[in-house]
Structure 1
Amino acid sequence: MNDPILIWGAGAIGGILGAYLARAGVPVLMVDIVEAHARTCSTTGLTIEGPVEQFTQVIPCVTLEQLEGQFSRIILAVKAQATEGALAQLLPHLTADGYVVSAQNGLNERVIAQHVGAERTIGAFVNYGADWTEAGRILFGNRGAVVIGEIDGTIQPRTRELYELLQIFEPDAVLSEDIWAYLWGKLGYGAMLFATALSMDSMTANFADPTRGPALIGLAREVMRTAVAEGVDPKPFNGFDPAAFLPDASDVAAQTSLANLAEFNSKTAKTHTGIYRDLAVRKRKTEVDPQVGVVAQIAASHGIETPLLSRLVTLIHDIEEGRREMSSETFHELTKVLA
């Protein structure tokens, strides 16, 4: 395949991937909805900054209106709630034998497979810390786990090719025969991250606060219970130990995982989640429905109750719509559920 890799969404995730691949000489084209960002990336270059590495890389980047041609490899890196809209736009640009890789949070591989076919869908798991700060600038706060895998559990030549490309960015990337195990693990961790965005406090402060521990642990337990019902055995990463939140796990194991997450997040320049930035800085909708809400829906299909996840979705919506402020009091609305 000699055509460029098309990265659909040049924000925190897609922009960093594009910058590293382009710097290594891999042909890349990015698409973004922010015209100023696309123009800057293509002219003076995209600046990656932060403690991991700092460099500026010129990368061809266009808006949707400027995009022409078809591509055999498309990396989808948009917000989860934008997945269906993006798929409708990218399908005319996907070759008949091409595939789409989801470099997103959530279970978007399921949505992508419905639109392009399961055989043309590849899963990816990313946990590095990054923030889009302004047009042409992205903060690379910390390295984190990166995993690639086919959604049917096979390993194909195209999967190995992608794995080698991801190693350009993350030398410790993993080629997995069970990408769903990582995606469900991220959902458990992600539910806790949404809870940290209920207040103005950092991720580390949330994970280290013993008064918030019970609610955080409860959220992860609801997700892990659902994963087990789905026949998934979630994998650990970056301090998050799914086994510590399984039904038969002890409170001590769960508290140890929280301590490990506090330690991991204490070392990043990205002190708050992208969810926090959506609410406090960019004043826009979060991914709470396709990330947290969808787990509650899947749980319900198994007859599993998820009072904490359901309350979390409501609280995030309250903040999005101006009915509540981000505060410790809002966080402890979750704690009240446990009572």
Structure 2
Amino acid sequence: MSEEPILIWGAGAIGGILGAYWARAGQPVLMVDIVEDHARACSGGGLEIEGPVESFRQTVPCVTPDAVEGRYRRIVLAVKAPATETAMDQLLPHLAEDGFVLSAQNGLNERRIAALAGPERTMGAFVNFGADWQGPGRILFGNRGAVVVGEIDGSERPRTREMHALLRLFEPEAVLTENIWGYLWGKLAYGAMLFATALTPDSMAANFADPARIPALIALGREVMAVARAEGVTPHGFNGFDPAAYMPGGGDAAARASIAALAAFNSKTAKTHSGIWRDLAVRKRRTEVDPQIGVIVEIAESHGIAVPVLARLVALIHDIEDGRRPQSAETFAALAETLTPGVA
């Protein structure tokens, strides 16, 4: 592995775990985070990774954005989607001319990164492991999940293979793909379902297992897949999510089988609730609903595709954020009211 440091911009659930594993493996890492207490803890006493997968403490150098110096060939962007533009403004002066930014985020942030840094300096990644930032110097690693890396133009280059090798230090089953957009759109469909689970106080597994909520979850998957097809993307499956089950001709039985597989996958994690639920219920802050789900609604409109369930989901999440609705079964029922009679 290279002795050149990797810069990880965002030391939360995703970036912090990657940084801890890479540092433990002997890879030089510098993390950046806006929470000063967290940066101090990671650099001093060490970042504590907790949970059933593995528990360890690792010192990882971490600074606030104003203290970053130098330029880096490899920058991993791991901030929440709404913070992408601000983070890019801060990190671009530190990106080497021959460098790239790898998006380890949820959503389609690669599109915005490519617009700001250039397509040639943008790489995509898909992560589905379960993790939560618990507080300064503490991250829960709830379960392993799919980890994928790929170039946004579908090529395979030495730098892509290099990042794949690094990701395998964390996840031995990490995949190098020529279809990163397929994974990202698959995650968008699954992510839409996770946003729906955050409408309630129940766990992810409980939501996926509730017969009354399954039709709405299936409808979300089908709407996202319709937009992906219009974009010319072939979505890829992972961890129980089967994109073919939500395509025309997939049938209700296949869709329900995929939902059951997602219920089973989420029943085996110490991270019982989504990060979206945690944003609403614990951290009392706005979610990533606009850059993750709202953007799908916008893309759907550009293709003339109706996505009423997705649009309703965005509105309901905003209702919770703004205090107009609670996280409750009744709020989920308001999503289900959008369904066309006879859906799944």
Q: Distance in 2 between matches of 1:70 and 1:3?
A: 11
The residue identity in structure 1 corresponding to 2:115 is: Q
Q: Distance in 1 between matches of 2:223 and 2:303?
A: 12
Partner residue in 1 for 2:4: 3
Partner residue in 2 for 1:249: 250
Q: Distance in 2 between matches of 1:240 and 1:318?
A: 28
Partner residue in 2 for 1:175: 176
Q: Distance in 1 between matches of 2:316 and 2:104?
A: 27
Cα pair 2:142 2:269 within 8 Å, conserved: yes
Q: Does 1:116 align with 2:117?
A: yes
Partner residue in 1 for 2:220: 219
The residue identity in structure 1 corresponding to 2:219 is: G
Cα pair 2:3 2:27 within 8 Å, conserved: no
Partner residue in 1 for 2:86: 85
Cα pair 2:7 2:31 within 8 Å, conserved: yes
Q: Distance in 1 between matches of 2:95 and 2:319?
A: 38
SS at match of 2:338: helix
Partner residue in 1 for 2:67: 66
Moved more, 5-14 or 241-250: 241-250
Q: Does 1:142 align with 2:143?
A: yes
> Per-residue deviation at 1:64?
1.0
Partner residue in 2 for 1:55: 56
Q: Distance in 1 between matches of 2:82 and 2:306?
A: 24
Q: Distance in 1 between matches of 2:141 and 2:10?
A: 16
Q: Does 1:239 align with 2:240?
A: yes
Partner residue in 2 for 1:130: 131
Q: Distance in 1 between matches of 2:336 and 2:276?
A: 20
Q: Distance in 2 between matches of 1:229 and 1:26?
A: 41
The residue identity in structure 2 corresponding to 1:142 is: N
Q: Distance in 1 between matches of 2:94 and 2:4?
A: 12
Partner residue in 1 for 2:102: 101
Alignment size in residue pairs: 339
Q: Distance in 2 between matches of 1:161 and 1:230?
A: 29
SS at match of 1:337: coil
User: After the TM superposition, which residues 302-321 of structure 1 pair with which residues of structure 2 at under 5 Å, given as runs?
Assistant: 302-321=303-322
Task: Identify unmatched segments of 5+ residues in structure 2.
Answer: none
> Per-residue deviation at 1:97?
1.1
Partner residue in 1 for 2:45: 44
The residue identity in structure 2 corresponding to 1:285 is: R
Alpha-carbon deviations, 1:229-282, whole Å to 9, x = none?
111111110001011001221000000000000000000000000000000000
Q: Distance in 2 between matches of 1:243 and 1:22?
A: 39
TM-score with structure 1 setting the length: 0.99
> Per-residue deviation at 1:160?
0.3
SS at match of 2:131: strand
Q: Distance in 2 between matches of 1:114 and 1:321?
A: 31
After TM superposition, which residue ranges in structure 1, 4 or more long, deviate above 6 angstroms?
A: none
SS at match of 2:132: strand
User: After the TM superposition, which residues 240-279 of structure 1 pair with which residues of structure 2 at under 5 Å, given as runs?
Assistant: 240-279=241-280
Q: Does 1:200 align with 2:238?
A: no
Alpha-carbon deviations, 1:34-76, whole Å to 9, x = none?
0000000001000001000000000000001211111111000
Q: Percent identity?
A: 70
Q: Distance in 2 between matches of 1:175 and 1:205?
A: 32
Q: Distance in 2 between matches of 1:150 and 1:107?
A: 13
Alpha-carbon deviations, 1:209-244, whole Å to 9, x = none?
010000000001000000011111111100010110
Partner residue in 2 for 1:293: 294
The residue identity in structure 2 corresponding to 1:158 is: R
The residue identity in structure 1 corresponding to 2:259 is: L
Partner residue in 1 for 2:186: 185
SS at match of 1:269: coil
Cα pair 2:10 2:16 within 8 Å, conserved: yes
TM-score with structure 2 setting the length: 0.98
Q: Distance in 2 between matches of 1:152 and 1:93?
A: 24
> Per-residue deviation at 1:2?
4.2
Q: Distance in 2 between matches of 1:247 and 1:14?
A: 37
